[in-house]
Amino acid sequence: MNSALTENQRLQALREHHVPRGIATAHPVVAARAQGAELWDVDGRRYLDFVGGIGVLNVGHNHPKVVEAVRRQVGEISHASFQVVAYENYIQVAARLNKLIGGDTHYKSVLFTSGAEAVENAVKIARGYTHRPAVISFRGGFHGRTLLGVTLTGMSQPYKQNFGPFPAEIYHATYPNAYRGISSDDALAELDELFATDVAPDRVAAIIVEPVQGDGGFLAAPKAFLQALRALCTRHGIVLILDEIQAGFGRTGTMFGFQHAGIQPDLVTVAKSLAGGMPLSGVVGRAEIMDAPTPGGLGGTYGGNAVACAAALAVLDLFEEQDLLAQGEALATQLHEGLLALQKRYPRVGDVRGLGFMQAIEMVADDTACSPDAALAQHVIDEARRAGLLVIKCGVHRNVVRFLAPLVTTPEQVAEALQMLETALAATC
């Protein structure tokens, strides 16, 4: 005799009926509420959320200061469109981003809604400034699901599918991967080959790169690699775009990932944790480059929404007031050491890597080549959920388990998550 459906099961059935399969949901869980690093489903089960809305909630779910800022703003003005009338908090967000990224150099910011929208506009700005057509991105990079976004993305599945033809003049270069034996020198040599065989440097408007590849497997770009890209772009008049959408706002231990390399990008794309869960993104860059498009060339009805801007200001205040960077670094050390300890007990954890609190484990087959094992990674994710821990996968071969816990996670919660992960590894490895 069948028992009654749980509330999760009932809502999952409705989801299957009303929502297309193209938008995948990693876990068969319907959330009811969340706070900090914890989430409860509609059946009352508690989970440790080490996904954080896919790197969106660096200040945690429903931080009281963000909630209060949103409530206050909704009572004043929720939407007007910056293209119609200006409002002060848009200008304040722009000013603070300019200072955070540009320092004393004159930078400007334009705000949008999603990360993919920021990437597309960064490309428009770079092309408008250089009057060149080509853009170089990297294999394993992820830059969104719009048509240009998936073209820039250096992974075929599941993103490209049968969605072509794709925009022209997009080229992909090799990204360093120490675990797979690809050094910075190897990657730079292949970039030189790309210039020699596919597109001359004077035809390239921009190079776009993630300081840590997010969906590509949490691969951190070596400092020397980013420094070499900076020098190369300067030499050839190419706009260097740093995609900080997942790595930004304290995720890697500095406010932005590029800061580890001591370089200064021409343009930076931001989104995700900028507004603590509200949809807000932006392009921040050198004023002379940002001013290349003429009036009307940039915009979007909801871009820089007033409520999202209020949330962003609260998030930026929290970074200043609560020393979240130091807190994240302490948690990163605890998590990284815990993952290394698990790797010693479970050899199918082929690699432990990351930068700051942006950590991952790569699951591999039991062979001499350490072949990627996507099925094992998925089993680990499923067993972790059964133990009470939410994580998701990444990597070109989808065999990497990533951890994106909020910077406000407690040490006790990190320890609990590591115990849950060990339960999952014991069950699968």
Task: Mark whether 103 and 209 lie in a shared domain.
Answer: yes
Q: What pTM value is reported for the model?
A: 0.96
Task: Mark whether 113 and 24 lie in a shared domain.
Answer: no
For residue 70, being part of any structural domain is answered with: no
pLDDT surpassing 50 at residue 1: no
Which of 322, 338, 368 corresponds to the end of one domain?
322
- Interior CA angle at 312 toward 273 and 253, to 5°? 40
The total number of structural domains that make up the chain: 2
Q: How confident is the model at residue 71 (pLDDT cuts 50, 70, 90)?
A: very high
Angle of helix 64-74 versus helix 306-322 axis, rounded to 10: 150
Burial track 2-25 (b if 16+ CB lie within 10 A, e otherwise): eeeeeebeebbeeeeeeeeeeeee
Task: Mark whether 90 and 198 lie in a shared domain.
Answer: yes
Task: Mark whether 227 and 251 lie in a shared domain.
Answer: yes
Q: What is the CATH number of the domain that holds 143?
A: 3.40.640.10
Task: Mark whether 251 and 166 lie in a shared domain.
Answer: yes
Which of 287, 322, 357 corresponds to the end of one domain?
322
Task: Mark whether 149 and 219 lie in a shared domain.
Answer: yes
Q: How confident is the model at residue 157 (pLDDT cuts 50, 70, 90)?
A: confident
Task: Mark whether 318 and 346 lie in a shared domain.
Answer: no
Q: What is the CATH number of the domain that holds 414?
A: 3.90.1150.10
Task: Mark whether 297 and 337 lie in a shared domain.
Answer: no
Which of 307, 322, 337 corresponds to the end of one domain?
322
pLDDT surpassing 80 at residue 2: no
Query: How far from the centroid of its chain's Cα atoms is residue 342's Cα?
Result: 25
For residue 413, being part of any structural domain is answered with: yes
Q: What percent of the chain has pLDDT over 90?
A: 97
The model's pLDDT over 89-137, given as tens digits with 9 standing for 90+, comes to 999 999 999 999 999 999 999 999 999 999 999 999 999 999 999 999 9
- Interior CA angle at 389 toward 387 and 395, to 5°? 120
The model's pLDDT over 307-345, given as tens digits with 9 standing for 90+, comes to 999 999 999 999 999 999 999 999 999 999 999 999 999
Q: Which residues constitute the domain of residue 280?
A: 77-322
